[in-house]
Structure 1
Amino acid sequence: MKRRVFLQTGIMAALVPTLALAHGPTRQKVTLTTKLAAAPADVWAVVGDFQDMSWHPAIAATTGTGGNEIDATRVLSLGAPDGPTIAEVLYKYSAEKMSYSYRITDVDVAVLPVTNYSSHLTVTPLDGGGSLVEWRGAFYRGYPNNDPPEHLNDEAAIAAVTGVYQAGLDALVERFGAAGS
């Protein structure tokens, strides 16, 4: 009995380093914020409609169904109305909290190198006036296996999501003005 336990322990000890090296990708996270000079209600009036993402410079058209109801869908056309698309579904919405959460249901990783992506957009008041917009997301890289190609690795996924968020937040600053620090 002792020998069998010893052998099992030895086998497990030998496998642990191999198992540690064999893990897949880890969930990545990006959070960006910006301070705007406008009141939260004014900002929410622009960003709070899940069916209208015209405020983002990369979005040429948004089509969808369900308004701001849970399980509403939208398809974002990038660059041009007939450009590449990203399909999304709304899974949390609160006009009162000025916040919504959605996930991507279909995207070509050549367009956005992520998988299993979810995101949250929130507008909150700043002390002394103005708004804070927070856009955060969690996702896996576009290549789910080990040794991803460079354009589908963690760094590429983080850079792409950061670029999307930054472009949207920059457009809001251009529209509403930046709030003082």
Structure 2
Amino acid sequence: METFIVGESSLSERDVCDIIAKEISRFMREDMPRLISFVMEEMISMIYERLRVLQADLEAGRLMTQKVFFRELDTCGAPCFFEGKDHIINMRCIIDMESTFCVNFYPEEANVRFATCILCDRARESWCEVVQNLELGEVESMTYEYFVTKFKREFVLSIKVQQLTQENLAL
């Protein structure tokens, strides 16, 4: 057993261990609860601050800026639209697109971009012709509702008119 000399008194190894144990016990009994309480208060304060910012962002609509990529749309089985000769099938494409957008919670501004990516072959060529007749600002600020209106006019109504014309000519 070793003896430690501290000032004018000497302590044995056992005495030093007892002193350390008492100090640790005192710290855990007196100081630790204050320290834990302080840390908890700080954490709660940070959480409330973040919640306040989150609520303000939510109310201002700033949380709807999630980034989405076409590969996510493609992975979920997005329909490809090939310009058909039947207006009902073409209308079904719009319904399928809207279902895909709704199920995946895509933000509104991504819907037009994705909808135009779904168009294939002749449908894409037809859509490019439609877009060429629009002004640049009109294309960039196009809403999904406007896209649907243009889509219906190009791929649903015009085909329906053609079918009715052919039916009347056949009579």
| Shorter-normalised TM range | 0.3 to 0.5
Of structures 1 and 2, the one with the larger relative CO (CA 8 A, separation 6+) is: 1
**Higher normalized strand content (fraction of residues):** 1
TM-score w.r.t. length of structure 1: 0.31
Larger-gyration structure (1/2): 2
**Higher normalized helix content (fraction of residues):** 2
